[in-house]
Structure 1
């Protein structure tokens, strides 16, 4: 039997060919139809059926960008952008591979990013989705009621000259500080990508929609796990800083193993999309565009996960746990102590 995903991809391929013939557009240098599956995955870090499905959904939003008198095909736009994100190569090099000018390439990337960033990253909100997420996390290390692991990661950039100090982080480089929540499988379920590198992790969380929903009890008894940079709350559990009892040690061990899913996700994300990796240099875009690139990479990461694509994680050097600035929360202390006594002791 033929995998239904590939039957769907074949149908999309047929309709795409018809669309290209109707528009009588320029035949670009890059096109996956003449590539092996191995080469497609090596170049774009997505399988062909995922690319074709994405093209089918975005095609109408990728309006004409001309190369002389010829429109650049939607597939060329998508592939050029995917190549840029996956490789982290300079625009000029990717544009040459795509067969378009660098000026056209800038417009192409902007179009694709705008179309892609409209696609939502979904936090579990239904009872079934929340229960499935809890079961997934429980299977990691026996930690109950977890609906997300949270952390922040830095994406290097060249800061605006008038706000250079705002983007300087604790390591004296310039970056966005991006908050990410993921599930037990490394699927990204929430992202906040708008704060400069100087912003503290806890500040980003406190000013997020997710924090308001957690505080208001919209997710029932669901818990988020964070490191010690975050404030301890009944719905946001952090490690015990100085564990003394066996229960506290077991709690910390389970907490670390469960929360490590988000750190592993950062490693996979920055390996899959090398444009995010600081070893390739800072992104030469405005902070707003860097934020958009990060969001789109997270969307593409989820698409790759949905299509069963695994990717080796790279070692991501993150900041050590930041000290939390604020007073201990009595309700949070009580919730954590009760969990330790009832589940880990």
Structure 2
């Protein structure tokens, strides 16, 4: 027990959760074991290569999932289910050698992965946290302003595309999944802070969906536009319309201040690109999620949300990136929003211009500077 606590000393929010998990496991007799013993067959290097996570991180994940699955009928020990699922997330396929170590039949893998993904998606309430208190909002905004110079920003907003396969014989459905880059995908609305922590992930729509429509119908979009989070912005890319809560770049900058603002805007937007690239590198299943049907995207949504949960947990454990990391994920919209900038509300244009005039009289320093 004391040895484990050493590994968790840097955890900000996860340590209290882990204490609660351990207390619950002890009270319930330990569920199906006190530690994920089937992972002991891997040395630390093989463990990271196979799962793209470290042993303390995997122990923490397994303990949380074990608690949530303890009262459910499962096809295998929870440790084995977690092993197969994490291997699928990391590699994009379920390895036969891992299945053998876990003692799980290949025919059961899909159901097990769906079960564990659904459980991990429910962990988003604990491990994916949008700043809701005054102090939390002020802290996030202060760090972002220090990073790029733009004040009163709560996060970076984007839609993440994940490749899927869709039947070309169902032409309407195929076109619905076809995005502006010419491949079939599903997309989720994601927000992150300037450190790359995921603050929000919601919705799972077909790849042709308009980003602005996703925002308008999302929980966070409605909360922001209704003023529930105060007078703050979120940074949005080309697929979004400027509003009093979405801050977009100036389409046609005409002076040094506007160029400087656009530079700062691009700098913070790059954090989202890097974050999404990091998530897809660590969890290669997101590079291809398999066949999708428009009427049943829940399983895809569970996997996407589960990987975002694991991303935040991995960051709290300071898990290093896989060797192939460093990819920058391109951000691109679904169908473009039709409203031109001239139709944007005057108060939104004025708010952005006031911000530019006050804060961007000089160029934004580069990252190297």
Class of the TM-score when normalised by the shorter of the 2 chains: 0.7 to 0.9
Write out aligned runs for 1:1-345 (5 A). 4-6=5-7, 19-20=31-32, 31-62=38-69, 63-66=72-75, 72-90=76-94, 95-96=99-100, 98-119=102-123, 120=125, 121-159=128-166, 161=170, 163-277=173-287, 281-284=288-291, 286=293, 287-311=297-321, 312-319=325-332, 323-326=336-339, 327-345=343-361
Deviations 1:283-338 (A, max 9, x none): 24553211211111111111111111242332434437975421222121011000
- Structure 1 stretch displaced more, 43-52 or 235-244: 43-52
Deviations 1:232-251 (A, max 9, x none): 01211100111111111111
**Normalization by structure 1: what TM-score?**
0.86
| Distance in 2 of aligned mates of 1:149 and 1:37 | 35
Q: Which runs of 5 or more residues in structure 1 are unaligned?
A: 23-27, 67-71
In structure 2, distance between residues paired with 1:314 and 1:212: 32
Aligned partners of 1:20 and 1:73 also within 8 Å: yes
Offset at residue 95 of structure 1 (A): 3.2
Q: Distance in 2 between the 1:142 and 1:310 partners?
A: 28
Q: CA RMSD in A?
A: 2.9
Instruction: Name the SS for the 2:177 alignment partner.
Output: coil
**Conserved? CA contact 1:177–1:196, under 8 Å:** yes
Query: Which protein has greater RCO, CA pairs closer than 8 Å, 6+ apart?
Result: 2
Equivalent residue of 1:117, what SS? helix
Contact 1:6 1:49 in 2 (8 A): yes
CA 1:133/1:50 → structure 2, altered by over 3 Å: closer, same or farther?
same
Offset at 1:272? 0.7
TM-aligned CA distance change 1:94 to 1:154, over 3 Å? farther
Q: Which residue of 1 aligns with 2:364?
A: none
**3-state SS of paired residue (2:161):** strand
User: Match of 2:122, SS?
Assistant: coil
Give the number of equivalent residue pairs. 330
Shift of 1:268: 0.3
CA–CA distance in structure 1, aligned partners of residues 48 and 144 of structure 2:
29
Deviations 1:83-102 (A, max 9, x none): 10011125767534533112
- 1:19–1:292 CA distance, 2 compared to 1 (3 A): closer
Instruction: Tell me the distance in 2 between the aligned counterparts of 1:17 and 1:89.
Output: 34
- Deviation, structure 1 residue 170: 1.9
The 3 A distance-change label for structure 1 pair 231 and 21 is: closer
Q: What's the counterpart of residue 25 of structure 1?
A: none
Task: From the superposition, tell whether residues 320 and 157 of structure 1 become closer, same or farther in structure 2 (CA, over 3 Å).
Answer: closer
TM superposition shift of 1:187: 0.7
CA contact (8 A) 1:193 1:291 kept: yes
